[in-house]
Structure 1
Amino acid sequence: MRKYKERIKEIWRYPYRLYMKSRLQNHDFEIISSNCIGGILYHDVGEQFRTPTINLIIPEFLKFISNLSVYLNYPLEPGRITKEGYPCCMCGDIEIIGVHYRNQEHLIHDWSKRVKRVTGKHIFVISTDNFIKTEEDMCIFDSLPYPKVCFSAKENKKYKWLVYLPEFKGKSAIGDSLRYCTPWGTRIFEKYFDCVNWLNSEK
């Protein structure tokens, strides 16, 4: 039943995905994402995954992205299994949680394959206020030498890269921003941020 529902959603959203693909001019981007948003975006515009940060969560994302070239050179090592059953691996001293992987071997295999595609020349960074929490975090994130966006439950006009999602107003951090929120299949985060225009801006 779950697979059937997912297939229905794919068909329903297909025209919107075609619209996104028709507008995309930059086909040479490498998205480093703290959660699944990056992978969803790659899928929707029909591009090859040129990043290892697909279908996973990096709790210490700010540390990871601040030392990106260092961590991308570490091989993944098997770690723990979370209480939810998610396989984890260690990238140096940073934990990678494979929320959509069968096991650690699957996570290591896909990470190792995709990390080789990263050149470091066309990095785009996506995160949320689940990972960028304090003013100090924001200052560090602001200093990153990459195009970036952070989706937040709180308004903060000080930073141009911070995108407020009012659906989560009053929350400590955003919830599921991948939920559909319009009849034509727009996701919550897409309602307030034009991802394709953002990727094209650095073409």
Structure 2
Amino acid sequence: MKKYLSKFRDYTNAIINNRNKQLLKNKNFSLISSNCLGGFMLHNLNIRFNTPTINLFFYAEDYIKFLENLKENLSTDIIEVRDFNLNYPVGKINDEIIIHFMHYKSFNEAKEKWEERAKRVDFNNLFIIMTDRDGCDEKLIKKFDDLPFENKVIFTHKPYPEIKSTFFIKEFIAEESVGHLFHYKQGIQGFFGYKYYDNFDYVSFFNKGNSN
């Protein structure tokens, strides 16, 4: 039964993704993400990775530091950090910003992909996303909101109506942070292929950019 349910969800999710591809007008944007969420969105929309933040994550404080000087940090050399407590490569920028390349086999592979994709970033068609995971608190959410990016959103486990760039994911209100938003939702919506990030109309969000 589980096998058939999984196949049905994947089938209906493919229908959702195909509909979103048709609705998407802005097809050459760059998406900077604090974790794997951005990569899932881009993959669903069949968009080239015009961003280095793929298959990795930042702790929240490091991500804010990364965004505060984004252009310089994207062009700065990444140094390998040896952490024998982790089974994936780790890098550091400017002696303070740590990047966890958890889906790469080696640091050389991670660095090569980072540098290749960093060159593609279009600052005139740029989107920024974050979640309130990995050490994020209200202070950092407010710092994110103050960053000078026109198109940005942070997904939170509780409502912050006073903070403009937040988007509340209600299913996680009893948790300490949002969960993995790329997982299928519980209940009937998940049965029909919807994932937690589908609460947010990310196609309309991306269509606010420069589609030329």
TM norm. shorter chain > 0.5:
yes
- In 2: Cα distance, 1:84 partner to 1:24 partner: 38
Q: What does residue 3 of structure 1 align with?
A: none
Are 2:160 and 1:161 equivalent residues in the alignment? no
CA contact (8 A) 1:31 1:125 kept: yes
Deviation at 1:83, TM superposition (A): 2.7
Q: How many residues align?
A: 198
Deviation at 1:135, TM superposition (A): 3.7
Gaps of 5+ in 1: 1-5
Return closer, same or farther for 1:12/1:81 CA change in 2, 3 Å cut-off. farther
Deviation at 1:139, TM superposition (A): 2.7
Backbone CA RMSD of aligned residues: 2.2
Return closer, same or farther for 1:22/1:82 CA change in 2, 3 Å cut-off. farther
CA contact (8 A) 1:16 1:184 kept: no
- In 2: Cα distance, 1:82 partner to 1:63 partner: 25
Q: SS of the counterpart of 2:191? A: coil
Of the three residues 125, 140, 165, the one matched with 2:128 is 125
Deviation at 1:148, TM superposition (A): 0.7
- In 1: Cα distance, 2:208 partner to 2:32 partner: 17
Gaps of 5+ in 2: 1-5
- Partner deviation per Cα, 1:47-86 (whole Å, 9 max, x = no partner): 1000000010011101111110121111222112463412
Of the three residues 70, 73, 78, the one matched with 1:71 is 73
Of the three residues 190, 197, 209, the one matched with 1:202 is 209
Q: What does residue 19 of structure 1 align with?
A: 19
Q: What does residue 3 of structure 2 align with?
A: none
Q: Which moved more, 1:21-30 or 1:83-92?
A: 83-92
- Partner deviation per Cα, 1:6-32 (whole Å, 9 max, x = no partner): 998655522111111000001131111
- In 2: Cα distance, 1:135 partner to 1:184 partner: 34
Q: Which amino acid aligns with 2:29?
A: F
Return closer, same or farther for 1:18/1:34 CA change in 2, 3 Å cut-off. same
Q: What does residue 179 of structure 1 align with?
A: 183
Q: What does residue 28 of structure 1 align with?
A: 28
- In 2: Cα distance, 1:38 partner to 1:119 partner: 16
- In 2: Cα distance, 1:27 partner to 1:156 partner: 31
CA contact (8 A) 1:132 1:141 kept: no
- In 2: Cα distance, 1:84 partner to 1:177 partner: 24
Q: How does 1:78-93 map to 2 (within 5 A)?
A: 78-81=80-83, 83-92=85-94, 93=96
- In 2: Cα distance, 1:156 partner to 1:139 partner: 10
Amino-acid identity (%): 30
TM-score (norm. length: structure 2): 0.85
- In 2: Cα distance, 1:152 partner to 1:112 partner: 30
CA contact (8 A) 1:29 1:50 kept: yes
- In 1: Cα distance, 2:174 partner to 2:50 partner: 35
Of the three residues 180, 187, 196, the one matched with 1:188 is 196
- In 1: Cα distance, 2:117 partner to 2:155 partner: 25
Q: Which amino acid aligns with 2:89?
A: P
- In 2: Cα distance, 1:7 partner to 1:94 partner: 40
Q: Larger relative CO (CA 8 A, sep 6+): 1 or 2?
A: 2
- In 2: Cα distance, 1:19 partner to 1:83 partner: 43
